[in-house]
Structure formats: structure tokens, C-alpha cells
């Protein structure tokens, strides 16, 4: 029996499914820490979740979260690099919903339709 190399994404005694659940929980926890009136990029959330360089994973976790979970997680506070509302690529109506929710929280947009990250970017810390 050959041993599979231990990936940096899961530990020796952890199955892939368990590792995926752990990573998803870390991402959702990081998103919940974004305060009202602030935003974070997918990359910021990945770093705060202990998954640097995994911004696409953050997007996938948010996209695949069950509807009941989406109601508890402020998904609208996560934006693309440069303040882009990137959810519009998958669902144009979601970008409008995201913008309306952010504006309701006091987030301002540039003339190009991007979030003003200099003013509204959250400073997330990694939780152990």
C-alpha cells in the first residue's frame, strides 16, 4: 500500500470531505466577522480564514452555501479585487441586490460602480 502525500490543505488524519468542511467553516466564519458598512475582498477573506491564495475557494464556498446559511452570512460584504461586484458574472440580479444592501449600510461606490476600498475595506485578522 502506497502512502498518499499529505496535502497542505488537509492533515494526515483528515479525509478530504472533512478538510473541505473545515475550510468552508473557516471561510464562513471570516465572512461573518466583516462589520456592517465595511467590505472585504475574496483574497482578504481567504487570508483571514487561514487559506492565503485561495480567493476562488472563498467564492465557491459562498456560491454553494445553502439558502438558509446565506441568510446568516453577510455574503454581500465580499467583493472582488479592486472593489468589483463580481457576483454579477454568475447572477446579474445578485449584483443589484449586493449593491442595494451595501448602499443601505452606507458603503459608497465610485463612478465606475466599484466599492471605494480606501474608505470601506475591513481589516480582518486571522482567527486560530
Give the pLDDT confidence of 52-69 residue by residue, as tens digits: 999 999 999 998 888 877
Average pLDDT, the chain: 86
- Record the cell numbers describing residue 116, joined without a space: 471605494
Residue range 15-42: mean pLDDT, rounded: 92
Angle between helices 16-32 and 55-64 (to 10 degrees): 90
pTM for the whole thing?
0.84
Q: May I ask the CATH architecture of the domain 37-120?
A: Orthogonal Bundle (1.10)
Domain spans in the chain, listed from the N-terminal domain onward: 37-120
Amino acid at each position: 500500500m502506497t502512502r498518499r502525500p499529505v496535502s497542505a490543505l488537509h492533515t494526515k488524519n483528515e479525509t478530504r470531505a472533512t478538510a473541505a468542511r473545515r475550510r468552508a467553516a473557516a471561510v464562513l466564519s471570516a465572512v461573518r466577522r466583516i462589520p456592517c458598512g465595511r467590505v472585504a475582498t475574496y483574497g482578504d477573506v481567504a487570508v483571514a480564514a487561514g487559506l492565503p491564495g485561495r480567493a476562488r475557494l472563498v467564492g465557491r464556498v459562498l456560491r454553494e452555501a445553502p439558502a438558509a446559511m446565506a441568510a446568516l452570512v453577510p455574503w454581500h460584504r465580499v467583493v472582488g479585487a479592486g472593489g468589483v461586484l463580481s457576483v454579477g458574472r454568475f447572477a446579474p440580479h445578485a449584483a443589484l441586490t449586493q449593491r442595494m444592501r451595501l448602499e443601505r449600510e452606507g458603503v459608497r461606490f465610485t463612478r465606475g460602480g466599484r466599492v471605494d476600498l480606501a474608505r470601506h475595506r475591513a481589516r480582518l485578522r486571522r482567527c486560530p
